[in-house]
Amino acid sequence: MNIALVAHDKKKQDIINFSIAYKHVLQNHNLFATGTTGTRITEETGLDIHRFQSGPIGGDQQIGAKIANNEMDVVIFFRDPLTAQPHEPDVSALMRLCDVHLIPLATNLAAAEIVIRALGRGDFEWREIVKQNRSEDIDK
Ligand SMILES: O=C(CO)COP(=O)(O)O
């Protein structure tokens, strides 16, 4: 599965702690992140993560593009609901695309715990079927 990990600045430590706790699950998947989030998680966990640009300069949109292309299976995005973000439109667009394409999206630690446990159990294997069907549609 392709998993995106994103956190706003005040949630960076939370996503690092989460990544340490669930490294045994995350290491079995292809990991993607916005720039600073990816750097911090890799520093603290050693996980191999493909890093996009930092969120405010386009990283959220790059993840959105992967969703639009059906190339992202799960998004874990620890949002800071108490701090205004200069790139709020990008944040909203990313979440909207998750809804458009039925991509599981966890926006806080409590939801991420549920998602990651489901991932560990293989509950998202249906994504492989969706991806296969969609690529067959494109081939037609
Ligand atoms: O701003 C972000 C998500 O909207 C996160 O970006 P960084 O991981 O580069 O801090």
Atom 6 of ligand 1 has which residue's CA nearest to it?
55
Instruction: State the helix-helix crossing angle for 59-68 and 88-100, rounded to 10 degrees.
Output: 10
pLDDT of residue 138: 66
> How many whole angstroms separate alpha carbon 29 and alpha carbon 18?
15
**Which residue's CA is the nearest one to ligand 1's atom 3?**
55
Task: Tell me the pTM.
Answer: 0.95
How far apart, in whole angstroms, are the C-alpha atoms of residue 45 and residue 114? 21
2-139: CATH topology is Rossmann fold (3.40.50)
The closest residue, in CA terms, to atom 9 on ligand 1 is: 54
pLDDT score of 35 = 98
> Ligand 1 site: residues with CB under 6 angstroms?
6, 8, 34-37, 54-56, 59-60, 91
Q: According to the annotation, is 12 in a ligand binding site? A: yes
**Is 87 known as a binding-site position?**
yes
The stretches in the chain having pLDDT less than 50 are none
pLDDT recorded at residue 114:
98
Give pLDDT, residue 106: 98
Q: What is the pLDDT of residue 135?
A: 74
Q: List, by residue number, the catalytic residues.
A: 60
Within 34-108, where are the H helices? Answer: 35-45, 59-68, 88-100
Q: How far is the CA of 63 from the centre of ligand 1 (A)?
A: 11
Q: How many CB atoms lie within 10 A of CB 80?
A: 15
Instruction: Determine the longest span between alpha carbons in the chain, in angstroms.
Output: 47
